[in-house]
Amino acid sequence: MKPGRMLYQVLSSLFKKTATLDYPHDKSQKIKGFRGRLKAYPQRCIGCKMCMRDCPSQAIIIKEVGSKQFEAQIDLSKCIYCGQCADVCPKMALEITDEFELAQFDPEKLKIVFHVELKKNT
């Protein structure tokens, strides 16, 4: 490239909007449809295990821990953020959020654990 052309490109770029974000200082831009951390709403869960059945990476374990009592464990270190569990849940007890800063030193912090106790007439 000729020096004159290069100088023109350098100077003109000074007045153009940047294509990148000043991350992590600027977190303003949200990407539509982005699939990030799962959020659970335990009070809606009925322990049907449909999320566990459909999860392609076996990141969800729902087990009975008593009469009409369930423990749900979602391991985000296995999750591929496909959103299948949230789509299949009949009670909208799981939601995909746009949170993406999930790095942890302790893998236990990447587990979502909740307990469900169904009402006697459920």
- Site of interaction with ligand SF4 (CB under 6 A): 38, 45-51, 55-57, 59-60, 62, 74, 79-85, 89, 91, 93-94
For ligand SF4, give the closer residue by CB, 48 or 110.
48
Min. distance of Cβ 60 from ligand SF4 in angstroms? 5
Please, what's the b/e burial string for 107-122 (b: 16 or more CB within 10 A of its CB; e: otherwise)? eeebebeeebeeeeee
Side chain identity at residue 76, one-letter code: L
Query: In whole angstroms, how close is the CB of 104 to ligand SF4 at the nearest point?
Result: 16
Work out how close the CB of 120 gets to ligand SF4 at its nearest, in angstroms, rounded to a whole number. 18
Q: What DSSP line would sit under 49-98, residue for residue?
A: -HHHHH-TT--EEEEEEETTEEEEEEETTT-----HHHHH-TT--EEE-S
Q: Of the two residues 12 and 43, which places its CB atom closer to ligand SF4 in the complex?
A: 43
